[in-house]
Structure 1
Protein backbone atom coordinates (compact mmCIF):
# COMPACT_ATOMS: atom_id res chain seq x y z
CA UNK A 1 0.00 0.00 0.00
CA UNK A 2 1.33 3.45 -0.90
CA UNK A 3 1.64 6.28 1.57
CA UNK A 4 -0.86 8.73 0.08
CA UNK A 5 0.95 11.62 1.73
CA UNK A 6 3.97 11.05 -0.52
CA UNK A 7 2.01 10.61 -3.74
CA UNK A 8 1.55 13.55 -6.09
CA UNK A 9 0.16 13.76 -9.61
CA UNK A 10 3.44 15.13 -10.94
CA UNK A 11 5.82 12.65 -9.36
CA UNK A 12 3.85 9.39 -9.44
CA UNK A 13 2.72 6.86 -11.99
CA UNK A 14 -0.98 6.67 -12.79
CA UNK A 15 -1.04 3.30 -11.02
CA UNK A 16 0.55 4.69 -7.84
CA UNK A 17 -1.65 7.77 -7.75
CA UNK A 18 -4.89 5.87 -8.30
CA UNK A 19 -3.85 3.33 -5.67
CA UNK A 20 -3.46 6.20 -3.21
CA UNK A 21 -6.83 7.57 -4.30
CA UNK A 22 -8.38 4.16 -3.60
CA UNK A 23 -7.29 4.23 0.05
CA UNK A 24 -9.64 5.46 2.79
CA UNK A 25 -7.50 8.46 3.66
CA UNK A 26 -9.24 11.30 1.79
CA UNK A 27 -5.93 12.71 0.54
CA UNK A 28 -5.96 12.54 -2.42
CA UNK A 29 -9.73 12.56 -2.65
CA UNK A 30 -12.52 13.65 -4.95
CA UNK A 31 -11.21 17.19 -5.23
CA UNK A 32 -7.82 16.00 -6.41
CA UNK A 33 -9.62 13.65 -8.80
CA UNK A 34 -11.40 16.70 -10.16
CA UNK A 35 -8.02 18.24 -10.95
CA UNK A 36 -6.92 15.09 -12.76
CA UNK A 37 -10.11 15.13 -14.84
CA UNK A 38 -9.33 18.72 -15.81
CA UNK A 39 -5.81 17.68 -16.79
CA UNK A 40 -7.26 14.92 -18.98
CA UNK A 41 -9.58 17.41 -20.66
CA UNK A 42 -6.68 19.79 -21.26
CA UNK A 43 -4.49 16.99 -22.62
CA UNK A 44 -7.15 15.89 -25.11
CA UNK A 45 -7.71 19.51 -26.12
CA UNK A 46 -4.00 19.86 -26.79
CA UNK A 47 -3.93 16.62 -28.78
CA UNK A 48 -6.84 17.58 -31.01
CA UNK A 49 -5.39 21.06 -31.53
CA UNK A 50 -2.11 19.48 -32.61
CA UNK A 51 -3.92 17.42 -35.23
CA UNK A 52 -5.86 20.42 -36.53
CA UNK A 53 -4.76 22.71 -39.35
CA UNK A 54 -6.00 26.26 -39.83
CA UNK A 55 -4.93 29.31 -41.80
CA UNK A 56 -5.03 33.06 -41.26
CA UNK A 57 -6.95 34.34 -38.28
CA UNK A 58 -8.13 30.85 -37.37
CA UNK A 59 -4.53 29.70 -37.43
CA UNK A 60 -3.65 32.30 -34.81
CA UNK A 61 -6.66 31.31 -32.72
CA UNK A 62 -5.63 27.67 -32.93
CA UNK A 63 -2.06 28.42 -31.88
CA UNK A 64 -3.22 30.39 -28.85
CA UNK A 65 -5.74 27.68 -27.95
CA UNK A 66 -3.04 25.03 -28.16
CA UNK A 67 -0.80 27.03 -25.85
CA UNK A 68 -3.57 27.47 -23.29
CA UNK A 69 -4.33 23.74 -23.30
CA UNK A 70 -0.67 22.83 -22.70
CA UNK A 71 -0.44 25.28 -19.81
CA UNK A 72 -3.75 24.11 -18.34
CA UNK A 73 -2.60 20.50 -18.18
CA UNK A 74 0.29 21.50 -15.93
CA UNK A 75 -1.84 23.87 -13.86
CA UNK A 76 -4.54 21.26 -13.35
CA UNK A 77 -2.08 18.74 -11.95
CA UNK A 78 -0.67 21.34 -9.55
CA UNK A 79 -4.20 22.24 -8.44
CA UNK A 80 -4.96 18.56 -7.89
CA UNK A 81 -2.04 18.33 -5.49
CA UNK A 82 -3.06 21.59 -3.80
CA UNK A 83 -6.53 20.12 -3.25
CA UNK A 84 -5.06 16.93 -1.79
CA UNK A 85 -3.19 19.04 0.77
CA UNK A 86 -6.33 21.02 1.58
CA UNK A 87 -8.30 17.79 1.95
CA UNK A 88 -5.76 16.49 4.43
CA UNK A 89 -6.16 19.61 6.59
CA UNK A 90 -9.94 19.37 6.27
CA UNK A 91 -9.97 15.82 7.60
CA UNK A 92 -7.57 16.66 10.41
CA UNK A 93 -9.80 19.52 11.59
CA UNK A 94 -12.81 17.24 12.00
CA UNK A 95 -10.76 14.75 14.01
CA UNK A 96 -9.99 17.30 16.73
CA UNK A 97 -11.78 17.12 20.07
CA UNK A 98 -14.91 19.32 20.34
CA UNK A 99 -14.19 22.87 21.38
CA UNK A 100 -13.14 26.32 20.12
CA UNK A 101 -9.91 25.01 18.60
CA UNK A 102 -11.81 22.45 16.55
CA UNK A 103 -14.37 25.03 15.42
CA UNK A 104 -11.63 27.41 14.31
CA UNK A 105 -9.76 24.63 12.50
CA UNK A 106 -12.93 23.50 10.69
CA UNK A 107 -13.69 27.07 9.63
CA UNK A 108 -10.20 27.64 8.29
CA UNK A 109 -9.96 24.26 6.55
CA UNK A 110 -13.43 24.57 5.01
CA UNK A 111 -12.71 27.99 3.53
CA UNK A 112 -9.30 26.87 2.23
CA UNK A 113 -10.82 23.77 0.64
CA UNK A 114 -13.62 25.81 -0.96
CA UNK A 115 -11.09 28.27 -2.36
CA UNK A 116 -8.98 25.46 -3.80
CA UNK A 117 -12.00 23.97 -5.55
CA UNK A 118 -13.16 27.38 -6.78
CA UNK A 119 -9.80 28.09 -8.42
CA UNK A 120 -9.94 24.72 -10.14
CA UNK A 121 -13.48 25.41 -11.27
CA UNK A 122 -12.51 28.79 -12.70
CA UNK A 123 -9.73 27.21 -14.75
CA UNK A 124 -12.18 24.59 -16.02
CA UNK A 125 -14.71 27.23 -17.06
CA UNK A 126 -12.03 28.99 -19.10
CA UNK A 127 -11.45 25.80 -21.09
CA UNK A 128 -15.04 25.34 -22.29
CA UNK A 129 -15.02 27.65 -25.29
CA UNK A 130 -11.67 26.33 -26.51
CA UNK A 131 -13.22 22.89 -26.74
CA UNK A 132 -16.25 24.48 -28.36
CA UNK A 133 -13.96 25.99 -30.99
CA UNK A 134 -12.45 22.57 -31.70
CA UNK A 135 -15.92 21.05 -31.91
CA UNK A 136 -16.63 23.44 -34.78
CA UNK A 137 -13.21 23.87 -36.42
CA UNK A 138 -11.07 20.99 -35.22
CA UNK A 139 -9.98 17.96 -37.23
CA UNK A 140 -13.29 16.13 -37.83
CA UNK A 141 -11.58 12.75 -37.50
CA UNK A 142 -11.04 13.53 -33.82
CA UNK A 143 -14.56 14.67 -32.90
CA UNK A 144 -14.93 11.65 -30.60
CA UNK A 145 -11.87 12.84 -28.67
CA UNK A 146 -13.48 16.27 -28.35
CA UNK A 147 -16.57 14.66 -26.81
CA UNK A 148 -14.43 12.63 -24.41
CA UNK A 149 -12.71 15.88 -23.44
CA UNK A 150 -16.11 17.47 -22.86
CA UNK A 151 -16.96 14.56 -20.56
CA UNK A 152 -13.76 14.98 -18.55
CA UNK A 153 -14.26 18.73 -18.38
CA UNK A 154 -17.85 18.27 -17.24
CA UNK A 155 -16.69 15.93 -14.49
CA UNK A 156 -14.14 18.51 -13.38
CA UNK A 157 -16.71 21.30 -13.25
CA UNK A 158 -19.33 19.15 -11.54
CA UNK A 159 -16.75 18.10 -8.97
CA UNK A 160 -15.60 21.65 -8.34
CA UNK A 161 -19.19 22.86 -7.99
CA UNK A 162 -20.09 20.15 -5.50
CA UNK A 163 -16.91 20.58 -3.48
CA UNK A 164 -17.26 24.36 -3.17
CA UNK A 165 -20.87 23.96 -2.09
CA UNK A 166 -20.12 21.16 0.38
CA UNK A 167 -17.13 22.96 1.88
CA UNK A 168 -19.18 26.11 2.42
CA UNK A 169 -21.93 24.12 4.08
CA UNK A 170 -19.31 22.53 6.34
CA UNK A 171 -18.87 25.90 7.98
CA UNK A 172 -22.14 25.21 9.78
CA UNK A 173 -20.27 22.49 11.69
CA UNK A 174 -18.24 25.29 13.23
CA UNK A 175 -21.37 27.07 14.39
CA UNK A 176 -22.12 29.35 11.43
CA UNK A 177 -25.59 29.76 9.96
CA UNK A 178 -25.83 29.10 6.22
CA UNK A 179 -27.14 32.62 5.57
CA UNK A 180 -24.12 34.04 7.38
CA UNK A 181 -21.84 31.88 5.25
CA UNK A 182 -23.34 33.40 2.10
CA UNK A 183 -22.85 36.93 3.43
CA UNK A 184 -19.28 36.29 4.57
CA UNK A 185 -18.15 34.50 1.41
CA UNK A 186 -20.17 36.00 -1.49
CA UNK A 187 -17.60 35.22 -4.19
CA UNK A 188 -17.34 31.57 -3.24
CA UNK A 189 -21.13 31.35 -2.98
CA UNK A 190 -21.52 32.88 -6.46
CA UNK A 191 -18.99 30.39 -7.83
CA UNK A 192 -21.47 27.56 -7.29
CA UNK A 193 -24.02 29.25 -9.58
CA UNK A 194 -21.38 30.00 -12.23
CA UNK A 195 -20.27 26.38 -12.25
CA UNK A 196 -23.88 25.25 -12.62
CA UNK A 197 -24.23 27.51 -15.66
CA UNK A 198 -21.01 26.08 -17.06
CA UNK A 199 -22.45 22.57 -16.86
CA UNK A 200 -25.40 23.69 -18.95
CA UNK A 201 -23.02 25.17 -21.55
CA UNK A 202 -21.03 21.94 -21.80
CA UNK A 203 -24.20 19.91 -22.22
CA UNK A 204 -25.28 22.26 -24.99
CA UNK A 205 -21.97 21.96 -26.83
CA UNK A 206 -21.83 18.19 -26.43
CA UNK A 207 -25.36 17.79 -27.78
CA UNK A 208 -24.48 19.92 -30.82
CA UNK A 209 -21.85 17.42 -31.99
CA UNK A 210 -23.37 14.18 -30.75
CA UNK A 211 -24.58 13.09 -34.18
CA UNK A 212 -21.09 13.53 -35.61
CA UNK A 213 -19.39 11.82 -32.67
CA UNK A 214 -21.82 8.88 -32.31
CA UNK A 215 -23.48 8.43 -35.74
CA UNK A 216 -24.64 4.85 -35.03
CA UNK A 217 -26.70 5.89 -32.01
CA UNK A 218 -30.38 5.27 -32.69
CA UNK A 219 -29.77 3.50 -36.03
Structure 2
Protein backbone atom coordinates (compact mmCIF):
# COMPACT_ATOMS: atom_id res chain seq x y z
CA UNK A 1 0.00 0.00 0.00
CA UNK A 2 1.42 3.40 -1.02
CA UNK A 3 1.62 6.36 1.36
CA UNK A 4 -1.27 8.02 -0.51
CA UNK A 5 -3.45 4.95 -0.09
CA UNK A 6 -2.80 4.98 3.66
CA UNK A 7 -4.40 8.42 3.97
CA UNK A 8 -8.14 7.92 4.39
CA UNK A 9 -10.92 9.63 6.30
CA UNK A 10 -11.43 6.40 8.25
CA UNK A 11 -7.86 5.64 9.32
CA UNK A 12 -6.24 9.09 9.51
CA UNK A 13 -6.52 11.90 12.03
CA UNK A 14 -7.66 15.31 10.79
CA UNK A 15 -4.03 16.44 11.00
CA UNK A 16 -2.78 13.46 8.97
CA UNK A 17 -5.52 13.80 6.38
CA UNK A 18 -4.93 17.51 5.83
CA UNK A 19 -1.18 16.93 5.56
CA UNK A 20 -1.99 14.35 2.88
CA UNK A 21 -4.24 16.89 1.17
CA UNK A 22 -1.40 19.42 1.17
CA UNK A 23 0.89 17.14 -0.83
CA UNK A 24 1.28 17.43 -4.61
CA UNK A 25 -0.26 14.01 -5.25
CA UNK A 26 -3.93 14.79 -5.86
CA UNK A 27 -4.93 11.85 -3.68
CA UNK A 28 -6.67 13.11 -1.65
CA UNK A 29 -7.44 16.18 -3.74
CA UNK A 30 -10.19 18.72 -4.25
CA UNK A 31 -12.88 16.11 -4.85
CA UNK A 32 -12.06 14.35 -1.59
CA UNK A 33 -12.04 17.75 0.09
CA UNK A 34 -15.57 18.30 -1.20
CA UNK A 35 -16.57 15.00 0.42
CA UNK A 36 -15.16 16.09 3.76
CA UNK A 37 -16.97 19.42 3.47
CA UNK A 38 -20.19 17.48 2.91
CA UNK A 39 -19.49 15.44 6.04
CA UNK A 40 -19.00 18.69 7.97
CA UNK A 41 -22.30 20.03 6.65
CA UNK A 42 -24.03 16.80 7.71
CA UNK A 43 -22.44 16.94 11.17
CA UNK A 44 -23.57 20.52 11.71
CA UNK A 45 -27.05 19.60 10.51
CA UNK A 46 -27.11 16.90 13.20
CA UNK A 47 -25.89 19.35 15.82
CA UNK A 48 -28.53 21.98 15.03
CA UNK A 49 -31.28 19.36 14.87
CA UNK A 50 -30.13 18.00 18.22
CA UNK A 51 -30.31 21.45 19.83
CA UNK A 52 -33.80 22.06 18.44
CA UNK A 53 -36.62 21.20 20.82
CA UNK A 54 -38.70 18.32 19.56
CA UNK A 55 -42.28 19.39 20.25
CA UNK A 56 -45.03 16.98 19.12
CA UNK A 57 -45.47 18.73 15.78
CA UNK A 58 -41.76 18.55 14.90
CA UNK A 59 -40.56 15.39 16.62
CA UNK A 60 -40.92 13.09 13.61
CA UNK A 61 -39.33 15.61 11.23
CA UNK A 62 -36.38 16.18 13.55
CA UNK A 63 -35.86 12.46 14.05
CA UNK A 64 -35.82 11.94 10.29
CA UNK A 65 -33.35 14.82 9.81
CA UNK A 66 -31.05 13.38 12.46
CA UNK A 67 -31.16 9.94 10.85
CA UNK A 68 -30.47 11.29 7.37
CA UNK A 69 -27.65 13.52 8.58
CA UNK A 70 -25.95 10.65 10.41
CA UNK A 71 -26.12 8.48 7.30
CA UNK A 72 -24.90 11.34 5.11
CA UNK A 73 -21.88 12.00 7.32
CA UNK A 74 -20.73 8.40 6.92
CA UNK A 75 -21.53 8.30 3.21
CA UNK A 76 -19.71 11.58 2.58
CA UNK A 77 -16.52 10.34 4.19
CA UNK A 78 -16.66 7.17 2.11
CA UNK A 79 -17.25 9.25 -1.01
CA UNK A 80 -14.20 11.34 -0.11
CA UNK A 81 -12.07 8.19 -0.01
CA UNK A 82 -13.64 6.90 -3.23
CA UNK A 83 -12.73 10.16 -4.93
CA UNK A 84 -9.14 9.85 -3.75
CA UNK A 85 -9.03 6.39 -5.35
CA UNK A 86 -10.49 7.79 -8.58
CA UNK A 87 -7.87 10.55 -8.54
CA UNK A 88 -5.07 8.00 -8.34
CA UNK A 89 -6.49 6.23 -11.39
CA UNK A 90 -6.77 9.55 -13.20
CA UNK A 91 -3.15 10.42 -12.51
CA UNK A 92 -1.95 6.97 -13.53
CA UNK A 93 -3.79 7.19 -16.86
CA UNK A 94 -1.79 10.25 -17.91
CA UNK A 95 1.45 8.41 -17.22
CA UNK A 96 0.71 5.74 -19.84
CA UNK A 97 2.77 6.06 -23.01
CA UNK A 98 1.00 7.96 -25.81
CA UNK A 99 -1.23 5.78 -27.96
CA UNK A 100 -4.60 4.02 -27.99
CA UNK A 101 -4.04 2.42 -24.57
CA UNK A 102 -3.38 5.81 -23.01
CA UNK A 103 -6.46 7.32 -24.64
CA UNK A 104 -8.63 4.48 -23.32
CA UNK A 105 -7.10 4.71 -19.84
CA UNK A 106 -7.82 8.45 -19.73
CA UNK A 107 -11.36 7.88 -20.96
CA UNK A 108 -12.11 5.29 -18.28
CA UNK A 109 -10.49 7.34 -15.52
CA UNK A 110 -12.26 10.55 -16.55
CA UNK A 111 -15.66 8.87 -16.60
CA UNK A 112 -15.00 7.22 -13.24
CA UNK A 113 -13.91 10.51 -11.69
CA UNK A 114 -16.93 12.36 -13.13
CA UNK A 115 -19.27 9.68 -11.78
CA UNK A 116 -17.67 9.95 -8.35
CA UNK A 117 -18.17 13.73 -8.33
CA UNK A 118 -21.75 13.48 -9.60
CA UNK A 119 -22.64 10.99 -6.87
CA UNK A 120 -21.19 13.24 -4.20
CA UNK A 121 -23.13 16.14 -5.66
CA UNK A 122 -26.35 14.12 -5.65
CA UNK A 123 -25.97 13.45 -1.93
CA UNK A 124 -25.20 17.11 -1.27
CA UNK A 125 -28.25 18.39 -3.16
CA UNK A 126 -30.48 16.03 -1.17
CA UNK A 127 -29.24 17.67 2.04
CA UNK A 128 -30.45 21.16 1.15
CA UNK A 129 -34.08 20.59 2.19
CA UNK A 130 -33.25 19.50 5.73
CA UNK A 131 -30.86 22.38 6.31
CA UNK A 132 -33.38 24.84 4.88
CA UNK A 133 -36.02 23.50 7.26
CA UNK A 134 -33.65 23.97 10.20
CA UNK A 135 -32.93 27.52 9.04
CA UNK A 136 -36.63 28.26 9.55
CA UNK A 137 -37.53 26.00 12.45
CA UNK A 138 -34.25 25.22 14.21
CA UNK A 139 -33.12 26.67 17.53
CA UNK A 140 -32.43 30.36 16.94
CA UNK A 141 -29.36 30.38 19.18
CA UNK A 142 -27.48 28.18 16.69
CA UNK A 143 -28.48 29.99 13.49
CA UNK A 144 -24.82 30.88 12.91
CA UNK A 145 -24.07 27.17 12.74
CA UNK A 146 -26.73 26.79 10.06
CA UNK A 147 -24.91 29.41 7.99
CA UNK A 148 -21.61 27.58 8.49
CA UNK A 149 -23.33 24.34 7.45
CA UNK A 150 -24.64 26.03 4.31
CA UNK A 151 -21.11 27.23 3.60
CA UNK A 152 -19.73 23.71 3.89
CA UNK A 153 -22.58 22.36 1.79
CA UNK A 154 -21.94 24.99 -0.88
CA UNK A 155 -18.28 24.03 -0.97
CA UNK A 156 -19.24 20.39 -1.44
CA UNK A 157 -21.69 21.16 -4.25
CA UNK A 158 -19.31 23.59 -5.97
CA UNK A 159 -16.48 21.07 -5.76
CA UNK A 160 -18.61 18.27 -7.16
CA UNK A 161 -19.93 20.47 -9.97
CA UNK A 162 -16.53 21.79 -11.02
CA UNK A 163 -14.80 18.41 -10.84
CA UNK A 164 -17.54 16.66 -12.81
CA UNK A 165 -17.36 19.34 -15.50
CA UNK A 166 -13.57 19.23 -15.67
CA UNK A 167 -13.48 15.43 -15.79
CA UNK A 168 -15.97 15.33 -18.64
CA UNK A 169 -14.01 17.94 -20.58
CA UNK A 170 -10.88 15.85 -20.13
CA UNK A 171 -12.43 13.31 -22.51
CA UNK A 172 -11.43 15.74 -25.28
CA UNK A 173 -7.83 14.61 -24.78
CA UNK A 174 -8.85 11.12 -25.93
CA UNK A 175 -10.36 12.49 -29.14
CA UNK A 176 -13.98 13.35 -28.25
CA UNK A 177 -15.67 16.69 -28.92
CA UNK A 178 -17.91 18.37 -26.33
CA UNK A 179 -20.96 17.55 -28.44
CA UNK A 180 -19.95 13.88 -28.50
CA UNK A 181 -19.32 13.89 -24.76
CA UNK A 182 -22.78 15.39 -24.17
CA UNK A 183 -24.42 12.78 -26.39
CA UNK A 184 -22.53 9.85 -24.83
CA UNK A 185 -22.89 10.90 -21.18
CA UNK A 186 -26.13 12.90 -20.87
CA UNK A 187 -26.70 12.12 -17.19
CA UNK A 188 -23.24 13.26 -16.17
CA UNK A 189 -23.58 16.33 -18.37
CA UNK A 190 -26.96 17.22 -16.86
CA UNK A 191 -25.60 16.75 -13.34
CA UNK A 192 -23.36 19.78 -13.86
CA UNK A 193 -26.40 21.97 -14.56
CA UNK A 194 -28.25 20.47 -11.59
CA UNK A 195 -25.36 21.30 -9.29
CA UNK A 196 -25.08 24.83 -10.66
CA UNK A 197 -28.75 25.36 -9.82
CA UNK A 198 -28.17 23.91 -6.36
CA UNK A 199 -25.43 26.46 -5.68
CA UNK A 200 -27.85 29.26 -6.51
CA UNK A 201 -30.42 27.74 -4.17
CA UNK A 202 -27.91 27.48 -1.32
CA UNK A 203 -26.86 31.09 -1.84
CA UNK A 204 -30.49 32.20 -1.67
CA UNK A 205 -31.04 30.24 1.56
CA UNK A 206 -27.90 31.70 3.12
CA UNK A 207 -28.82 35.25 2.11
CA UNK A 208 -32.27 34.86 3.66
CA UNK A 209 -30.90 34.12 7.14
CA UNK A 210 -27.54 35.90 7.18
CA UNK A 211 -29.05 38.99 8.83
CA UNK A 212 -30.04 36.78 11.76
CA UNK A 213 -26.69 35.03 12.00
CA UNK A 214 -24.54 38.15 11.64
CA UNK A 215 -26.66 41.10 12.86
CA UNK A 216 -23.61 43.35 13.47
CA UNK A 217 -22.38 43.04 9.90
CA UNK A 218 -22.86 46.41 8.15
CA UNK A 219 -24.40 44.75 5.09
CA UNK A 220 -26.76 42.59 7.14
CA UNK A 221 -27.73 45.46 9.43
CA UNK A 222 -28.63 47.89 6.68
TM interval, short-chain normalised: over 0.9
CA shift for structure 1 position 54? 2.6
- 2-structure distance, mates of 1:51, 1:8: 30
2:168 maps to: 168
SS of equivalent residue, structure 1 residue 56: coil
Correspondence 1:4-15 to 2 at 5 A = 4-15=4-15
Which structure 1 segments of 5+ residues have no match? none
Shift of 1:4: 2.0
TM-score, L = length of structure 1: 0.98
Deviation at 1:5, TM superposition (A): 1.9
For 1:55 and 1:40, how far apart are their aligned partners in 2? Answer: 26
Post-superposition CA distance 1:180-209 (Å, at most 9, x none): 000000000000000000001101100110
Query: Post-superposition shift, 1:28?
Result: 0.5
Q: Partners in 1 of 2:107 and 2:3 — Cα distance?
A: 27
Match of 1:204 in 2: 204
Residue 52 (structure 1) shift: 0.6
Structure 2 residue matching 1:57: 3-state secondary structure: coil
Instruction: Note if contact 1:4-1:21 (Cα within 8 Å) is conserved in structure 2.
Output: no
What is the aligned length? 218
1:41–1:149 CA contact under 8 A, matched in 2: yes
Matched, 1:181 2:176: no
Provide the C-alpha distance between the structure 1 equivalents of 2:167 and 2:56, rounded to a whole number of angstroms.
46
- Residue 152 of structure 1 is matched in structure 2 by 152
State the TM-score, normalizing by the size of structure 2.
0.97
- For the pair 1:38 / 2:38, whether they are aligned, the reply is yes
Q: CA deviation at 1:96?
A: 1.0
